[in-house]
Structure 1
Amino acid sequence: MTNAVKEHVPRESPSIYINRDLSWIEFNWRVLEEAQDQSTPLLERMKFISIVSSNLDEFMSVRVAGVKDQLKAGYTKKDFTGYTPAGLFKRIMKRTAKMVSEQYKAFREISRVLAREGIIYTDYESLNASQKKTMDAYYHDIIFPVLTPMAVDQSRPFPLVHSQALYLAVILDREGEEHDDEDAYFAIVKVPSNLSRYILVPARTNSKKQEYILMEDLITQHIQTLFSGYIPVAVHGFRITRNADLTLNEEGAEDLLEEIEKELRRRRWGAPVRLEVQEGIHPYALEQLKDEFEISEHIFEIDGPLDLTYCMKLAGALPRSEHLKYEPIEPEYPQEFEETDDMFERIRQSDVLLYHPYESFDAITDFICQAAYDPQVLAIKMTLYRVSGNSPMIQALARAAESGKQVTVVVELKARFDEERNIAWARKLEQAGCHVVYGLVGLKTHAKITLIVRQEEEGLRRYVHVGTGNYNDSTARLYTDVGLLTAHSVIGEDASALFNEITGYSAPHDWQAFAVAPTDMKDKLFSLIRREAEHALAGKKAHIIAKMNSVSNQEMVDELYAASQAGVHIDLIVRGVCCLRPGVPGLSDRITVRSVVDRFLEHSRLMYFENGGESEVYISSADWMTRNLTRRIELLCPVFDKKLQRILTRILKLSLHDNVKARLLQSNGLYTRVEQKEELLRSQFAAMKISSWKHGGHARADRHESQETTPTSF
């Protein structure tokens, strides 16, 4: 910690940092608030309910699993926010239990309102005779052949229970016998994950209402078909979450791909972290589960369907429901490329900035495809972190390699929960003749960059795409990200050097434009922050605006505190975790932190430094977290074009002026909604006008953002 920070914090004060995991919980509360918000369209509220569940699944399987590992190892040291593992675990479980309770309360409310709209979550007994007949046939023809009842007794040990899969615990009596609970028969049935969890029921006669039933309810209704000669006493759902963090010995692995495949198989046996059970579960069944999973305290009794992640697919599949969703938007194809068949020619004229999802990701796909088929292109080099299930880029890269081009692809095999997909892509690219690299030992390759080397009349020219998000055409419709297309010679030289470092033996490069983690990005950011502090102390303009997903690195937080003490005004736009505590007198009273949670996932990493009136703007792949700054290959890239700088600054200021979906972080670690004014500004909806202010001239782009108004809903 810097001396400036130390001097202003008395020893008896509470921690000047917010705990990372508790900050994440507050983020998921903000997602839940969107599900609770009655101004959000009904089926969009269902989607937010689903997101809360999927977020919590990952949090439990990774972050909470790590805390449990510390407890198991007897670790008692406090972290830099003042929490011991035991104290943190207790607080996490209390807050998440309350969150789950509120989530299901919201689910029940949404279900009631949906029922008034004619979309009804029902049970078997509420169906009429005709509907029951149809559902009986569906069970016998589709579900029953897939089911496997698994008895648990002395000769048949407890089978492997997969993490986050849904199961039914079944208590049985043999026909003609009477048993105490302790002598009951116990079995489990896995609810098939390869069939639709929700089943749309045929409409009643002369009714436009749409009913759906969950598969586990249908299985429960017909459970006796799986156990002839036995009488079902009780059937209740359960779900286990296991530790999903990979433990790799990369240096000892002869083949990283094979090592990760082994670890993925081991993940299925990860230590249990959380047990979810249906409320009212039979005591004997609960005891069996507790004994098997050796879990006693981390049990959630759920009043409703387990695993609400199904709500996402349901919301997208219901017929005649468009009025209950956001009005669809079609991303605009960037005007810069609309009237040209030669993207390279247009990029040579000037740099191009793309803002997704408002502008179509097809432009990036077309850039790669044009390079793949262009006879003047000699080489394509690209990083891939998360790719969609049917990526046209993969096909283009394979085609380029087959046609004789030098194609190098850095595939990150350790992208959490996308490991299997990336392994499949890596093998396909290798078969096509691409040079596939798995990055450097001990480091994830998280930078998002493509380099095209092209033979032209003037000689070789490099074309570069640098982005804040993944090369994933699916998520590019759901996440806000920016990308820069440039033929700038300095950026091109740095791009070549970066790929040489990743794929070969190269000494650390003396970067002309880039800053690259883990070698020098942190130092570069610190120098930029300290420069603003020097300007402030000299009475010059000093202002930092930074937008990212998370801020949790202690050194980074201390640098921001010191800059605030020096007089720098700092506006942070942090969607998720933030360990910095703003608004503390004498420490961080010039720092604001706000979070925007809305229709799209805020994913851009953008930075603005006032620099005494000579402002600089950067885009990056990195959040300000320890893992990004020290354990990943990350990229910070300057934007040289003044017009594009103004566009990026405007994107930042739109978030700063949002008074509909923005929340401000208070010094107590809680978030409050920004006070609404007469003129409402919803930054994500205002950004939909990007074409008008990208191409409407400098004066239009420089207009004060607070004049840009938008309604609270479509």
Structure 2
Amino acid sequence: MSDTVSDNSIDLSAPEYYFNREISHLQFNIRVLEQALDDSHPLLNRLMFLCIFSSNLDEFFEVRVADLKKQMAFSREIPGPDGTPPSEVLDQIYQLASETTERQYNILNEYLLPELEKENIRFIRRSDWNEKQTKWAKQYFRDEVQPVISPIGLDPAHPFPRLVNKSLNFIVELDGKDAFGRNTGMAVIPAPRSLPRISRFPDEICDGGDNYVFLSSMIHQFADELFPGMKVKGCYQFRLTRNADLSFDKEDVSDLASALEGELHARHYGDAVRLEVADNCPEPLWQFLLDKFNLTYQDLYQVNGPVNVHRLMSVAIGAERPELRYPTFTPSIPKGLKGSSDVFAAIRKSDQLLLHPFQSFTPVVDLVRSAAQDPDVLAIKQTLYRTGATSEIVNGLVEAARKGKEVTVVIELRARFDEEENLHLANRLQEAGCVVVYGVVGYKTHSKMMMIVRREGKKLKRYVHLGTGNYHAGNARLYTDYSLITCAKDLTEDVHKLFQQLTGMGKALSIKKIYHAPFTLHKSLLGLIAEEAKNAKEGKPARITIKVNSLTEPKIIQALYKASQAGVQVDCIVRGMCRLVPGIPGVSENISVRSIIGRFLEHTRVYYFENNDSPKVFASSADWMERNLLNRVETCFPIENAKWAKRLREELDLYLSDNCQSWQLQRDGRYMKNEPLEGEERISAQQVLLESLSA
């Protein structure tokens, strides 16, 4: 352990001790993009990483860039802890996003498409169509596209159309006069949203393999049929990204569901933030588009390929080529739950800690199912954030309500980009007889809790599930998350009180074991970090290891700096955004930060404190961000079973030893991929867990 002593003369709030949040967020997306070049991933999964990057970048512009632009438009520029004004952040984003977008298309065109072609998966350009393919495409265009497409000539009677966020469109140069004698020279073709963007050519007109054609190729090829008697001089695809963050006055909301319903339509038509155009589009046309959308040259992205790469996901997922994807696996079920006909008896015998997706999410679903069917169960209470209206969990809640049980569900309607589905979910549950609550206006309910109340003899007993992830069985196959299932008295009593706070009114209740935001979590974490610093100064064992998705909250970062100064070894496993700067002499030389990017999306939140050889271990729904710790409803629950605490410590150490899928954050803000040293064993934490925990 270092002998470093805290230097109180250093201002730990100084801007040089913080990275910019938005740039850090963009760097995470770049690490995702780099997976598309990593041949340790199967080919179709590499294509999938490229598509995920495209989707992530869309959301980055829809939310983060849109917010920065909004700050500037209203002269409310608020620099973060790094002190960089939003205007400068935008300049940095434009530079980095432009370079990365160019790299994305280079990876697609120079690496992935040629490698896919070697595997007989082809995206056939219209210049390469054979006679039969041309005939098929023409017939498809006339039968499927032409009846639903609406080309719009631009003149005083047909002003520039209001285009939907992220929709595929074409700007067309025309020559000649139409039936009414008009000669505007320009038109817009919005691609029908009802049609697939990629179609598969029939096998009988191809030379084997899987052969695909873009809708954009067919519209390009047959655009002249949309303008009879006129000549199409040029047809160029473009796509507009808009501000898609919902906003309403929380002080003036009498009905949250109605307010959200009113905003959902507006999401499609927010202010423009980015324009993507084909790189062969002439300057007069893209300049015309920039002017129409009130954008500048910095907002322009000229791309060498489809303007929406994410559409390739349909092939990455749908192509019947299992040999080009990760091998399938079967998540395991722990012995204590496997084959048990009485899930409640199994929980009474022992707490259960599950790590998804390596261990099955089925026990969590079975818990709801059993509760729905068990005549001794009186009530179920649950929080839902991202779940889906037709999930098995929801089916169980609906069944329980219909059987006359008291079912109370706290639904967070404002889970970004899932608002519409959550409204459908709320309606379905209410129709079944559930009591539906929308949490607390102004504080998103992000905690993951379920409580079942069961009559056993003359007493009522509570069973709870606490998790780091959402109640979504599909995500449980893709995201790493912990589930704790227990009937421990103190924890179940705490969960009962938390539900009382969410559904009722009154002062914050006294909670024994669980730290909860926005009340005790932030303060408690600062106290735990300070205790490690104190122990280090006194020569006692001290260590902090955290695993979160994001680390941005300034006071937490300052506390970690102080712990480092005191000699505490602080290891941070941060998947995405990180404002903390590691490796600064006298400030953070005892802090390391790494990011794991692999087959599964790392989503677990785990906090470990050495506590003088009496470790305190927690799992949580909360990242170490301002919004999570101060402005959301979150839970952080202790892992007190020695067996489970030891397991979490070992799994954290495994992630710290990963030298295949980990990236190390440098003091200058760059991320360097960790590679095995010569002769060193290759360790992929996800692969080790897959081999050791799955069935």
TM range (shorter): over 0.9
Matched, 1:16 2:17: yes
**Paired amino acid for 2:135:** K
The CA distance in 2 between the partners of 1:170 and 1:55, in whole Å, is 29
Letter in 1 for 2:517: A
Instruction: Provide the rounded CA distance (Å) in 2 between the counterparts of 1:241 and 1:530.
Output: 44
Q: Hey, what's the Cα distance between the residues in 2 that align with 1:217 and 1:250?
A: 46
Q: Distance in 2 between matches of 1:338 and 1:45?
A: 35
Task: Give me the whole-angstrom Cα distance separating, in 1, the residues matched to 2:48 and 2:497.
Answer: 43
- Cα deviation, residue 6, structure 1: 5.7
SS at match of 2:493: helix
1:55 alignment partner in structure 2:
56
Aligned twin of 2:74:
73
* Cα deviation 1:588-607 (Å, max 9, x = unaligned): 01111000000110000011
Q: Are 1:553 and 2:553 matched, yes or no? A: yes
The offset of 1:145, in angstroms, is: 2.2
CA contact (8 A) 1:388 1:473 kept: no
Are residues 666 and 9 of structure 1, via their aligned partners in 2, closer, same or farther at CA, if it must alter by over 3 Å? farther
1:533 and 1:570 map into 2 onto residues whose CA distance is 10
8 Å contact from structure 1 (residues 514, 637) kept in 2: yes
Q: CA deviation at 1:264?
A: 1.2
Could you say which residue in structure 1 is the equivalent of 2:313? 312
**1:14, 1:206 → 2: CA distance?**
60
Corresponding letter in the other structure for 2:681:
E
Structure 2: how far apart are the matches of 1:5 and 1:342?
58
- 1:647 is matched with 647
Equivalent residue for 2:684?
682
- How far is the alpha carbon of 1:52 from its aligned partner? 0.7
Q: How big is the shift at 1:562?
A: 0.5
Residue-by-residue CA offset, 1:123-143 (whole Å, 9 max, x unaligned): 123121122222222222222
Q: Which among 166, 169, 172 is matched to residue 168 of structure 2?
A: 166
Residue 195 of structure 1, CA deviation? 2.5
1:111 to 2:113 alignment: yes
* C-alpha deviation, 1:537, in angstroms: 1.0
**Equivalent residue, structure 1, for 2:27:** 26
**Secondary structure at 2:540 match in 1:** coil
Partner of 2:242: 242
Are 2:342 and 1:342 equivalent residues in the alignment? yes
- Over aligned residue pairs, what C-alpha RMSD do you find? 2.0
CA contact (8 A) 2:336 2:346 kept: yes
Q: TM-score with structure 2 length normalisation?
A: 0.95
3-state SS in 2 of match to 1:219: helix
- For 1:611-626, what aligned pairs fall within 5 Å after superposition? 611-626=611-626
1:76, CA displacement in angstroms?
4.9
Pair 1:620–1:646, CA change in 2 (3 A): same
Q: CA deviation at 1:7?
A: 2.1
Q: Does 1:500 align with 2:524?
A: no
Aligned partner letter, 2:148: V
2: CA distance, partners of 1:506 / 1:66: 35
* Conserved? CA contact 1:605–1:621, under 8 Å: yes
Does the C-alpha gap of structure 1 residues 76 and 424 become closer, same or farther in structure 2, counting only changes over 3 Å?
closer
1:36-185 alignment, distance < 5 Å: 36-76=37-77, 78-108=79-109, 109-174=111-176, 184-185=184-185
Separation in 2 of the partners of 1:14 and 1:385? 35
Shift in Å, 1:206 = 8.4
Cα offset, 1:571, TM superposition: 0.6
Deviation of 1:392 after TM superposition, in Å, equals 1.6
SS in 2 for 1:338: coil
CA distance 1:607–1:397, change in 2 (3 Å): same
Where does residue 200 of structure 1 map in the other structure?
200
| Superposition deviation, residue 226 in structure 1 | 1.9
Equivalent positions of 1:255-294 (< 5 A) are: 255-294=255-294
User: Which residue of structure 2 aligns with residue 541 of structure 1?
Assistant: 541
With normalisation by structure 1, the TM-score equals: 0.93
Partner amino acid, structure 1, of 2:30: W
Is the contact made by 1:408 and 1:437 (CA closer than 8 Å) also made in structure 2? yes
Deviations 1:149-206 (A, max 9, x none): 22221012222211111111122222599x9xx9643222222333321111134678
Counterpart position of 2:424 = 424
Structure 2 CA distance, aligned partners of 1:412 and 1:78?
A: 29
Contact 1:535/1:541 (<8 A) preserved? yes
Amino acid at match of 2:419: E
Quick one: distance in 2 between partners of 1:10 and 1:353? 38
The residue type equivalent to 1:672 in the other structure is M
Q: Aligned partners of 1:425, 1:39: CA distance in 2, in Å?
A: 39
Equivalent AA in structure 2 for residue 80 of structure 1: P
The residue identity in structure 2 corresponding to 1:221 is Q
2:385 paired with 1:353: no
User: Where do 1:653-664 residues align within 5 Å?
Assistant: 653-664=653-664
Q: d(CA) in 1 for partners of 2:224 and 2:192?
A: 17
**Equivalent pair of 2:413/2:423 in contact (CA under 8 Å):** yes
Q: Partner residue of 2:563?
A: 563
Q: 1:583 to 1:492 in 2, by over 3 A?
A: same
Give distance in 1, aligned partners of 2:449 and 2:639: 14
Counterpart of 1:330 in 2: which secondary structure? coil
- Matched position secondary structure for 2:147: helix
Give the aligned partner of residue 188 of structure 1. 188
The answer to whether the 8 A contact 2:153-2:184 is kept is no
SS in 1 for 2:31: helix
Where does residue 598 of structure 2 map in the other structure? 598
- 1:449-468 aligned at under 5 Å gives the runs 449-457=449-457, 459-468=459-468
CA distance, structure 2, for counterparts of residue 397 and residue 349 of structure 1? 25
SS in 2 for 1:386: coil
SS of residue in 2 equivalent to 1:309: helix
Distance 1:311 1:626 in 2: 35
Q: Provide the C-alpha distance between the structure 2 equivalents of 1:10 and 1:165, rounded to a whole number of angstroms.
A: 45
Bigger CA drift: 683-692 or 458-467?
683-692
Q: Is contact 2:176-2:183 (8 Å) kept? A: no
Query: Are 2:665 and 1:665 equivalent residues in the alignment?
Result: yes
Q: Distance in 1 between matches of 2:527 and 2:230?
A: 73
Structure 1 residue 400: deviation in Å? 1.0
Q: Give per-residue Cα distances to partners, 1:665-711, cap 9 Å, x unaligned.
A: 1111111122413211100010013448x9xxxxxxxxxxxxxxxxx
Q: Give, in angstroms, the shift of residue 278 of structure 1.
A: 0.9
The whole-number CA distance in structure 1 between the counterparts of 2:434 and 2:178 is: 67
Distance, in Å, in 2 between the alignment partners of 1:171 and 1:341 is 69
Partner in structure 1 of residue 573 of structure 2: 573
Q: What letter matches 1:28 in structure 2? A: N
Q: Which whole-Å deviations, capped at 9, do the CAs of 1:590-629 have from their partners, x for residues lacking one?
A: 1110000001100000111111001111000000000101
User: In the alignment, is the contact (CA less than 8 A) between 1:75 and 1:85 conserved in 2?
Assistant: no
Contact 2:620 2:637 in 1 (8 A): yes
| Alignment-mate amino acid for residue 72 of structure 1 | A
Q: What is the identity, as a one-letter code, of the residue corresponding to 1:102?
A: R
Instruction: Write the mapping of 1:377-456 to structure 2, written as runs, cut at 5 A.
Output: 377-388=377-388, 390-456=390-456
Paired residue type of 1:134: W
1:14 to partner: Cα distance: 6.8
Tell whether the 8 Å contact from 1:343 to 1:367 is kept in structure 2 after alignment.
yes
Q: Distance in 2 between matches of 1:194 and 1:590?
A: 55
1:458–1:592 CA distance, 2 compared to 1 (3 A): farther
* Contact 1:5/1:558 (<8 A) preserved: no
For residues 524 and 299 of structure 1, do their structure 2 counterparts lie closer, same or farther at Cα, with a shift above 3 Å needed?
A: same
Distance 1:145 1:6 in 2: 73
Unpaired runs of 5+ in structure 1?
Answer: 695-714
1:643 and 1:481 map into 2 onto residues whose CA distance is 18
Please state how far the C-alpha of 1:77 moved relative to its aligned partner. 5.4
Looking at structure 2, the residues matched to 336 and 192 of structure 1 have their Cα atoms a distance apart, in angstroms, of 53
- Tell me how far 1:640 sits from its aligned partner: 1.4
- Larger deviation: 74-83 or 333-342? 74-83
In 2, Cα distance between equivalents of 1:173 and 1:663: 54
Change in CA separation of 1:201 and 1:529 when aligned onto 2, cut-off 3 Å: same
